[in-house]
Amino acid sequence: MPNTMRDTAKSEVMISAQGIHKSFGHVSVLRGVSLTLTRGEVVAIIGPSGSGKSTFLRCLNHLETIDRGTIVIEGEVLARSEGEGKAQYVSEAEIRKIGRKMGMVFQSFNLFPHMTVLENIIEAPLIVKGMKREEIIPKAEKLLAKVGLSAKRDAYPNHLSGGQKQRVAIARALAMEPDILLFDEPTSALDPELTGEVLRTMRELADEHMTMLVVTHEMGFAREVANRVIFMDGGDIVEQGPSEAFFAAPQHERTKAFLHNML
Amino acid sequence: MEYVISLLGPMTAGALVTLKLFFITLVLSIPMGLALALMRISRIKPLSSLVGAYIWLMRGTPLMLQLLFVYFALPFVPVIGVRLPDFPAAVVAFALNYAAYFAEIFRAGIKSIDRGQYEGAKVLGMTYAQTMRRIVLPQMWARILPPVSNETITLVKDTSLIYVLALNDLLRVARGVVQRDFTFTPFIVAGGFYLGMTLVLTWVFQHLENRHAKYDA
């Protein structure tokens, strides 16, 4: 069931990205993308490969730097352009502080292979937040239970299946208590029979009103879990709308062609 | 056989000189090499270039030349010129030389760590220093053990170069006995000593590799 947007939270803007431009060399990847994400919203970004959807997501938490545009996370400016000028970033320390409002889950998991599942989860709370082991371990164990991996507490990531790895990655991101979760094609590296367990975890988070921005190829997830769907192509947003309306009656020809190919 | 046993005393004394130089060089050059590697990959261009030049100099000239330079020529160099006794001079030359080789091994190890590891650390809020210390370097050690093992075994044998400073290491002692007694036996005994040392090193590195292998698939 799609979780309904709550009116009380509607006004609270979590991410505001305006007019984002980004080039790799001479290739323009983002051509003025704008997005506003409010608290509790689950937004899916879909589109063909090369449409710039992953790059856009990576710009929001400074894994890529933008050339032009303004990014504001929960009211705090990450980067801002004056008029047509180059985007100016805030200080390194500020960037890190703002970045901690967001957790991220990658296509390739990026778990730390030399640490056990539990160590992966407690690492950042220990060394970034300076929490005590006895504080964080019970919390980490609760998160592991939540993603259904309590039995894998002391296993190393390389001994897990792709779906298990991704659920550990989600638990690791949650351990930092972010306000927003970004997902960059979280199921694209998984065997089809393993995507379900990851999507189930994500759906549970959506049901708990986690604010989520999900770049995905899973049309089922976009349709059933997301409140809003954004279709990107050629470095720009072509069309967006509430997920049911979006899939029932796409307006743009490119959207129709894309959905026709995907479904 | 009795002759061989009579050799063991003086040759053990020589082996101790060899081992002393070996351990001191290792203990100094590994941290130095790590520092050099981190400077080499630094985004501060002049620092990186300076270290690049240093590595070129150290790898581009014979260790024997460096030994002779530190002992005989360094006292006459303005400002940094110091006169070092023979053993400390050997330590300085070996440590400076091996640090350059270790630096390149460490750099290769650091470069081999996937970019996703840095990104994973960054989105969790880690600084560059935290990422290096907690994520990148621990994984680097596991990967560089084979080349470090190579380099370490080479070091055991390179120590024999200190004969040019008239230091009585294992090989120089053996050669002295050969010239005195007109027999090659001391050379064979010396070979046995070197083989024994490298065997121990091989075990140690095998053990370290096994310990790191636990997290591999």
Total CB pairs under 8 A between chain A and B: 65
Q: DSSP class of residue A228?
A: E
Write down the pLDDT at residue A9: 47
Contacting residues of A for B121, CB less than 8 Å apart: 112
* pLDDT tens track for A146-155: 999 999 999 9
**What per-residue confidence (pLDDT) applies to B217?**
52
Q: Are A75 and A231 contacting, i.e. CB atoms less than 8 angstroms apart? A: no
* CA B40/CA B51 separation, integer angstroms: 6
User: What is the average pLDDT value for chain B, to the nearest integer?
Assistant: 94
pTM score of the predicted model: 0.90
CB–CB of A127 and B134 under 8 A? yes
The CA R_g of chain A, rounded to the nearest whole Å, is 18
- Report which secondary-structure segment, H or E, holds A72: strand A68-73
Measured between alpha carbons, how far is A131 from B33 in angstroms, rounded to an integer? 33
What is the tens place of the pLDDT at every residue in A101-126? 999 999 999 999 999 999 999 999 99
Ramachandran angles phi, psi of B125, nearest 5°: 95, 10
pLDDT of residue B27: 97
For A125-167, write each residue's pLDDT tens digit: 999 999 999 999 999 999 999 999 999 999 999 999 999 999 9
Other Cβ atoms less than 10 A from the Cβ of B51: the count is 21
Quote the minimal CA–CA distance from B114 to chain A in Å. 9
Instruction: Check B126 against A127: CB less than 8 A apart.
Output: yes
Round to whole Å and give the CA distance between B195 and B181: 23
Chain A residues whose beta carbon lies within 8 Å of the beta carbon of residue B142: 114
CA distance A92 to chain B (A): 9
Record the tokens describing residue A115, joined without a space: 């640490």
Q: Specify the DSSP class assigned to residue B72.
A: I
Nearest beta carbon to residue A99 from set B117, B125, B135: B125
Q: For residue range A177-222, list pLDDT tens digits in order.
A: 999 999 999 999 998 889 999 999 999 999 999 999 999 999 989 9
Alpha-carbon distance values, B178 to A9, B12, B158, B187 (Å): 91, 16, 20, 7
pLDDT number for residue B171: 93
Say what the pLDDT of residue B7 is.
87
Residue, of B1 and A81, whose pLDDT is higher: A81
Of the residues A57, A111, A114, the best mutation for testing chain B's interface (the one with the most B CB atoms within 10 Å of its CB) is A114
Give yes or no for a contact between A157 and A166, defined as CB atoms under 8 angstroms apart. no
d(CA A155, CA A115): 9
**Structure confidence at residue B187 (pLDDT):** 94
Sheet-wide strand order for A13-24: A27-38, A13-24, A68-73, A76-80, A88-89
Q: Is there a contact between B122 and A99 if contact means CB atoms under 8 Å apart?
A: yes
Predicted pLDDT of residue A231: 96
Give me the torsion for CA of A161, A163, A166, A171, rounded to 10°.
Answer: -100
Give Cα separations from B46 to B59, B96, B104, B217 (angstroms): 20, 20, 18, 40
A119 part of contact set with chain B, CB < 8 Å: no
Residues 6+ apart with CB under 8 A from A178: A100, A101, A102, A103
B1-39 pLDDT, tens per residue?
A: 788 888 888 899 999 999 999 999 999 999 999 999 999
Summarised one tens digit per residue, pLDDT across range B44-76 is 999 999 999 999 999 999 999 999 999 999 989
Distances (CA, A) of A28 to A31, A79, B128: 7, 19, 29
Residue of B nearest to A155 (CA): B215
Distance from A156 to chain B by nearest Cα, in Å?
6
- Whether residue A141 lies within 8 A of chain B, CB to CB, comes out as no
Say if residue A7's pLDDT is above 50.
no
